Homo-oligomer: A and B are copies of this chain.
């Protein structure tokens, strides 16, 4: 299946020309974003929590303390909505009304499962770290038994998802064409700056190549 079926949940109703249900498009957005926002409901109260994520094939991986509200809620089998948003720029039109943003966003609906065995947990934690910074896992001290025990890891299948994407220049009304207002895009990019040494680092530890070239 290379396209997600349109359901009552994932259907993009507003500005449906921006909708995209292709798996390859959706996975690319998930993989590029460094964090997501997870929505859930407890006693009729909506909550939204930002957290880092990774994708392992057709699943989203989240983690947190075993005692965290979010992890316990997902482990208990409750519905979540995961939103992932990449801002690409401001869209500056001649009229206030036609101003917009260029963005690539994904929403995923579903219920998760707890990852229980130590081996599966380690693989999921590796995926989270490599998502954050490719190359890092090989370099660091791996989780010990106590750390594994205190960490909750959950997976949510990506099977009810959609993307919404706006690209391109502003679209003004033809009757505004003669207004002398500058129009165009102000592009945005979330970029890493130069790495900053931990003040406690030893003198003989150089900055690894995978950090210097990451996220540029």
**A→B interface (CB under 8 Å):** 9, 13-14, 34-35, 37-41, 44-50, 52, 64-65, 67-69, 79-83, 85, 87, 89-90, 92-97, 99, 101, 103, 105, 107, 109, 125, 129, 132-133, 136-137, 139-144, 147, 151, 169-170, 176-177, 179-202, 204-208, 211, 214-215
Contact = CB atoms under 8 A, between A and B. Distances in A.
Contact of A133 (B65, B82, B92, B176): B92
A81 B48 contact: yes
Given A87-B34, A182-B201, A129 B177 contact: no
B201 A96 contact: no
Contact of A96 (B41, B69, B125): B125
A188 B193 contact: yes
How many monomers of this protein are in the complex?
Answer: 2
A168 B109 CA distance: 34
B214 A141 contact: no
Contacts of A9: 45
Contacts of A142: 95-96
A188 B189 CA distance: 10
A206 B39 CA distance: 43
A79 B190 CA distance: 31
A199 B169 CA distance: 8
B205 A188 contact: no
A198 B211 contact: no
